[in-house]
């Protein structure tokens, strides 16, 4: 079961970002406000690829590992 | 239009595409194929009344099955499952190019270590061994000696998946430190770039440097023919220059069916997502008129 982190949808005060919990470290991280469900972002804390599972609340999960048939 | 986007992972490419579609006022139905089921007559995916579905699945197997099922329901989908089937498999890809008389590297397929070694020896060294399914230059081997060939073949035999026992052996093309990626829609080039590296693999995914490239008449012709050879659609056509950068001669080594375009969008002045959406709009209009959406 992938590790999940969640935090309520929170717009930061002066920027177009969302706050979420890094599922690996538990730290609060900022995401661009236009982030999409299904989008992959790099954790600014660990560099781990995280998948956006939902936006309300913001839930991040460790992204699936590369599989052999991925690509173009 | 109301457009469905099949995906399992939103990369920058899909983000660019989604933004362009929404900016133009199109209604987008994101379809995460991991969450859906596909039956013989219907699917849990919300595909009712979609004008067009565009396949952006990162996983080749999901791409091939999902498009095949949608096509069976009569949902217009690009690229078509037929195009995907040819492009997803390097052996089928090579056969399609050769059958269309398009210059492509000499290739042999063998099914045992022994016959693969015979193929390698007949090409001489160096030559190239590739998995039939895969991308981004992964598990590709440039083989310089018989010792290396024997070791790699033995490793591949033990990898487990049956596809690793389909040995795809190819001549090594001595390209001038770069290859060319052209993005084309039904054979019409959108943009092209070179991918350069000191390494023999020049894929952008492997860190190859990208630079805008202008296709000459011969390259334009080959891109169009290669697109037709695999059934048309939105494709990444990969070419190598043969005999140096000024020779005007090319060999087409691959056509990709779920083409990534973020590197091309950055490397060129072309607004690639806008061109892609222009094409999708034309495809949706054609589908609405009862025309086939593939070339």
Chain A residues touching B131 at Cβ < 8 A: 68
Phi, psi angle pair for B182, to nearest 5°: -115, 130
Contacts of B9 in chain A (CB under 8 A): 38, 40, 51, 63-64
Q: Is residue A31 part of a domain?
A: yes
Class of domain B106-171: alpha beta
Which of A11-25, A58-72, B149-163, B173-187 has the lowest average pLDDT?
A: A11-25
* Helix ranges, chain B (H): 12-23, 60-72, 81-87, 90-99, 113-123, 146-157, 217-230, 262-267, 272-288
Give residue B18's pLDDT band: very low, low, confident or very high (50, 70, 90). very high
The separation between CA B147 and the C-alpha centre of its own chain, rounded to angstroms, equals 32
The answer to whether the beta carbons of residues B280 and B20 sit under 8 Å apart is no
Q: Is the pLDDT of residue B242 over 70?
A: yes
SS3 state of residue B172: coil
Among the residue ranges B7-21, B36-50, B75-89, B131-145, the one predicted with the least confidence is B131-145
pLDDT digits (tens, 9 = 90+) for B141-175: 999 999 999 999 999 888 777 777 899 999 999 99
Residues near B201 by beta carbon (within 8 Å), at least 6 away in sequence = B137, B140, B208
Q: State the pLDDT at residue B273.
A: 98
Min Cα separation A27/chain B (Å): 23
Residue that wins the pLDDT comparison between B18 and A68: B18
The token duo for B260 is 């990534």
Please tell me the CATH code under which domain B175-275 is placed. Answer: 3.30.470.20
Please give the residue of chain A at the shortest CA–CA distance from B10. Answer: A39
B83 touches chain A (CB under 8 A): no
User: Distance from B88 to chain A by nearest Cα, in Å?
Assistant: 8
- The boundaries of the domain holding residue A25 are 4-62
| B122-B128-B129-B130 Cα dihedral, nearest 10 degrees | -140
pLDDT value at residue B77: 97
Taking the C-alpha atoms of residue B21 and residue B23, their distance in angstroms, rounded to an integer, is 6
- Contact list, A37 vs chain B (CB under 8 Å): 10, 30, 32
Owner of token pair 């230059």: B137
Closest chain B residue by Cα to residue A51: B9
| Residue A58 domain flag | yes
Does the pLDDT of residue B254 top 90, yes or no?
yes
What Cα–Cα distance (Å) separates residue A38 from each residue in B30, B32, B47, B136? 9, 8, 19, 21
Q: Is A40 in Cβ contact with B58 (below 8 Å)? A: no
Which residue of A lies nearest to B34 if distances are taken between CA atoms? A38
Query: Across chain B, what does the average pLDDT equal?
Result: 94
Q: Where in chain B is the domain with CATH 3.30.1490.20?
A: 106-171
> Which is higher by pLDDT, B134 or B267?
B267
Contact with chain A for residue B175, Cβ under 8 A: no
Give yes or no for residue A14 having a pLDDT over 60: no
Top pLDDT among B159 and B102 is at B102
Residue B225 has pLDDT above 50, yes or no: yes
Whether A69 and B134 lie within 8 Å, measured CB to CB: yes
Count: domains in chain A: 1
pLDDT of residue B102: 98
> Is the CATH code 3.40.50.20 the one for domain B2-82?
yes
Work out the pLDDT band at B109, boundaries 50, 70, 90. very high
User: Of B139 and B274, which is predicted with more confidence?
Assistant: B274
- Decide if A70 is inside a domain: no
- Which member of B10, B161, B236 has the closest CB to residue A38? B10
Q: Which of the four pLDDT bands, split at 50, 70 and 90, describes residue B74?
A: very high
Looking at beta carbons, which residues of chain A come within 8 Å of B10? 36-40, 52
User: Which of B188, B207, B187 minimizes the C-alpha distance to B197?
Assistant: B207
User: Inter-chain contact A70–B18, Cβ cutoff 8 Å?
Assistant: no
- Work out the angle between the directed axes of helices B272-288 and B12-23 (0-180°, nearest 10): 60
Residues of B in contact with A67 (CB under 8 A): 59
More confident position, A9 or B160: B160
**Does A28 fall in a domain?**
yes
Q: Which part of chain B is CATH 3.30.470.20?
A: 175-275
Query: What is the 3-state secondary structure of chain A?
Result: CCCEEEECCCECCCCCEEEEECCCCCCEEEEECCCCCCEEEECCCCCCEEEEEEECCEEEEECCCCCCCECC
> In the predicted model, is pLDDT for residue A8 greater than 50?
no
Residue A71 lies in a domain: no
Q: How many CB pairs under 8 A join A and B?
A: 57
Considering chain B, tell me which residue range(s) the CATH 3.40.50.20 domain(s) occupy. 2-82
Q: With contacts defined as CB-CB under 8 Å, which chain B residues touch A39?
A: 10, 15
How far away is chain A from the Cα of B263, in angstroms, using its nearest Cα?
Answer: 13
Q: State pLDDT tens for residues B172-199.
A: 999 999 999 999 999 999 999 999 988 8
pLDDT at residue A6 is higher than 70? no
| CA–centroid distance for A27 within its chain | 12
- What's the whole-model pTM score? 0.92
Among residues B240, B284, B295, B198, the alpha carbon closest in space to that of B3 is found at: B284
Contact B60 A70 (CB under 8 A): yes
Question: What's residue B63's pLDDT?
Answer: 96
Q: Specify if A68 maps to a domain.
A: no
Distance CA B64, CA B82 (A): 9
State how far the alpha carbon of B53 is from the alpha carbons of B26, B74, B252, in Å.
12, 11, 28
Please indicate, yes or no, if residue A40 is contained in any of the structural domains. yes
A67 occurs within a structural domain: no
The minimum CA-CA distance between B100 and chain A, rounded to whole Å, is 22
**What CATH number does residue A36 fall under?**
2.20.28
Q: Would you call B58 an interface residue with chain A, using a CB distance cutoff of 8 Å? A: yes
């Amino acid at each position: 079961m992938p590790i999940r982190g969640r935090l309520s949808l929170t717009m930061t005060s002066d920027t177009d970002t969302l706050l979420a919990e890094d599922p690996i470290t538990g730290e609060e991280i900022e995401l661009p406000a236009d982030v999409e469900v299904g989008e992959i972002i790099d954790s600014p804390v660990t560099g781990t690829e995280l998948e956006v599972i939902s936006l309300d609340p913001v839930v991040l999960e460790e992204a699936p590992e590369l599989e052999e048939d991925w690509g173009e | 239009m109301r457009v469905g986007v099949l995906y399992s992972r939103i990369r920058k490419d899909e983000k660019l595409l989604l933004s362009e579609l929404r900016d133009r006022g199109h209604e987008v139905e994101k379809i995460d194929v991991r969450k859906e089921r596909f039956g013989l007559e219907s699917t849990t995916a919300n595909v009712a009344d979609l004008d067009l579905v565009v396949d952006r699945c990162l996983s080749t197997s999901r791409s091939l099955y999902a498009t095949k099922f949608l096509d069976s329901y009569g949902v217009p989908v690009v690229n078509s499952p037929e195009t995907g089937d040819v492009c997803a498999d390097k052996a089928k890809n090579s056969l399609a190019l050769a059958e269309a008389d398009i210059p492509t590297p000499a290739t042999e397929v063998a099914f045992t270590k022994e016959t693969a070694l015979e193929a390698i020896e007949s090409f001489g060294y160096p030559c190239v061994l590739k998995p039939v399914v895969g991308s981004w230059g992964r598990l590709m081997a440039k083989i310089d000696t018989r010792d290396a060939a024997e070791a790699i073949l033995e490793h591949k035999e033990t990898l487990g998946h049956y596809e690793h026992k389909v040995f795809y052996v190819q001549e090594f093309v001595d390209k001038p430190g770069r290859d060319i990626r052209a993005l084309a829609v039904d054979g019409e080039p959108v943009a092209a770039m070179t991918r350069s590296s000191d390494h023999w693999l020049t894929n952008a995914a492997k860190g190859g440097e990208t630079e805008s490239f202008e296709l000459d008449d011969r390259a334009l012709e080959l891109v169009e023919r290669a697109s037709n050879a695999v059934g048309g659609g939105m494709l990444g056509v990969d070419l190598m220059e043969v005999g140096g950068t000024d020779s005007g001669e090319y060999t087409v080594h691959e056509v990709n069916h779920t083409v990534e375009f973020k590197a091309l969008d950055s490397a060129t002045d072309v607004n690639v997502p806008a061109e892609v959406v222009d094409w999708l709009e034309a495809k949706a209009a054609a589908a609405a008129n009862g025309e086939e959406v593939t070339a």
